[in-house]
């Protein structure tokens, strides 16, 4: 599970739900690396959007960094 925690319940719930979807998608992808990367990108984008809308723009950096590592430039 994700190590991201938040005092904001809406953001915490969104991150937890996204992590569950990410885990299912990665498991279903098997050895398809492109599908794994797509699942990771979707997860980070979902969490980033939640941080912006539910968490007052706080805590963006882990998600931006994750997206940069995945090659999206942080968005």
pTM for this model (two decimals): 0.88
Check residue 4 and give its pLDDT. 64
Overall size of the chain counted in residues: 75
pLDDT values of the chain reduced to their tens digit, one per residue, 75 residues? 456 676 889 999 999 999 999 999 999 999 999 999 999 999 999 999 999 999 888 889 999 999 999 999 999
Check residue 1 and give its pLDDT. 46
Check residue 56 and give its pLDDT. 84
């Amino acid at each position: 599970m994700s190590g991201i925690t938040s005092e904001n319940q809406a953001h915490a719930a969104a991150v937890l739900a996204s992590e569950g979807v990410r885990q299912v998608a990665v498991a279903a992808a098997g050895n398809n690396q492109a599908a794994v990367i797509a699942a990771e990108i979707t997860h980070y984008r979902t969490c980033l959007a939640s941080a912006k809308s539910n968490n007052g723009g706080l805590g963006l950096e882990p998600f931006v960094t994750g997206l940069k590592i995945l090659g999206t430039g942080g968005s």
